[in-house]
Structure 1
Amino acid sequence: MLLKLLILDRDGVINHDSDAYIKSVEEWLPLPGSIEAIAQLSKAGWTVAVATNQSGIARGYYDLAVLEAMHERLRELVAEQGGEVGLIVYCPHGPDDGCDCRKPKPGMLKAIAGHYAVPLAGVWFVGDSLGDLEAAKAVDCQPVLVKTGKGEKTLGKTLPVGTLIFDDLAAIAAELIHN
């Protein structure tokens, strides 16, 4: 059976975003309905992976142990709802480090595809920023914009052709599960 893969950005899609960075588990607060949406997708047979820029590590705002604790919290909350989170990949680099993983570069999406041994063509990548949508386009993913996080602001920019737009993760879950 073909793997049903959905890839999510983290900050602004799953949890509240902050211009001051999410620096602790206490500051990592899920958006309303996002945990339930991931659990529903998981229970409906979707593999939900996460690709997140985390330049706060390069900037020294928090360390890998804190990042892992945030992701452990995400996994616990989704598990409480009967679902599971797939692979979580992150870019720890700053914007000037010249890495291949920091979105809008598609390195993290390629890593997820490699992990699951699936092609990325047509896989939905959900984000709230232009960088997310550009990363999706670079590897032939379907760019999907949510209006949470920076999404409303991103709506005012020139979006990649064919970008789908949803209010939030719950609306995406409803679409994928019921249609």
Structure 2
Amino acid sequence: MRTLQIEPLTKDAFAPFGDVIETAGSDYFMINNGSTRRYHQLATVQTGLPEDKAIISIFRAQALPMPLTVRMLERHPLGSQAFVPLHGKSFLVVVAPASDLPDADQVRAFLADGSQGVNYHRGVWHHPILALAPEDDFLVVDRSGAGNNCDEHFFDDDQAMRLDPQQQADER
């Protein structure tokens, strides 16, 4: 079983899958009489149909036991989906490029440092949210509208991947 190497989450490394939502290294302009920096349009909400709406939700996630065997990924073919941590806690991001079916050999894992969020582009395969804290909240921006906007793919046992943040931390 292949073990996913967990990479630092950077804008360049994550670009094939979506946007990293962070202020570090991002352009801004001053508003509110010079008292506020506006980091404008850090990500774009993608929707597939004119009648779709961008919505904002909060997901309260429970940490899954680690190490984790990654057996499934999901995608949203009709819209993007953004996750922004609300409590500054690190979380894991597991993704594969947009395609008809995810390729297990192209799955990548990233560690978001708690000051970063992610915006999965439309059709990008990803694992459901992977909180590392026992319980964590995420602001979620995604699409609401008609049509099926969630496809799931389950890997055969020989394609399942291992995700072990502790082992990787111990190896450093």
TM-score class, shorter-chain normalisation, is under 0.3
Is the strand fraction higher in 1 or 2?
Answer: 2
Which fold has the larger relative contact order, with Cα–Cα distance below 8 Å and residues 6 or more apart in sequence? 2
- TM, length-normalised to structure 1: 0.26
* Greater Rg by CA: 2
- TM, length-normalised to structure 2: 0.27
Is the helix fraction higher in 1 or 2?
Answer: 1
